Amino acid sequence: MKRVHIAPTLLDAQLAVDALSSLGIVTHIFNANAAGALGEVPFMQAQPEIWVEDDTQAARACEALSGLHNALPRDEKNCPYCGERNPGNFLSCWQCGRALPD
Ligand SMILES: [Zn+2]
């Protein structure tokens, strides 16, 4: 088992899992039910995580996911600290946790 992606929302996680399963890659989503617990757990722990069952397919999964994300037009902003892309409505970076500019 290897983690290949942390999705900003459960919907994003589901899209990623659908894309990977269409490639024959078996995945699991962790934290899928944590979305309702925001405020009770640290924010990072509530992000849905996508894990690949077969470690040898992790690289392929990452490649497929980066292609998927590049193909999705959406309102995003880049974190000025670590360069990670975040959804436009995020107030802090999911990757490094620092405040994002408006
Ligand atoms: Zn960041």
User: Ligand 1: distance of its center to the CA of 99 in Å?
Assistant: 8
Cα(79) to ligand 1 centroid in Å equals: 5
* 53 alpha carbon – ligand 1 mean position (Å): 28
Q: Could you tell me the residue ranges of all domains in the chain?
A: 2-71, 75-102
For 99, residues 6+ apart whose C-beta sits below 8 A from its C-beta are 91, 92, 93
**35-61 b/e with 16+ CB inside 10 Å = b?**
eeeeeeeeeeebbbbbbbeeeebbebb
CB 44 within 8 A of CB 84: no
Mean pLDDT, rounded, for 91-100: 93
Structurally, at CATH architecture level, domain 2-71 sits in 2-Layer Sandwich (3.30)
Residue 72, Cβ neighbours under 10 Å: how many? 10
Q: In the structure, what pLDDT confidence band is assigned to residue 12 with cuts at 50, 70 and 90?
A: confident
User: How many angstroms does the Cα of residue 22 sit away from the middle of ligand 1?
Assistant: 31
Digit-coded pLDDT (tens) for 44-83? 556 889 999 999 999 999 988 887 766 554 578 899 999 9
| Cα–Cα distance for residue pair 52/2, rounded to 1 Å | 5
Confidence of residue 4 (pLDDT cuts 50, 70, 90): very high
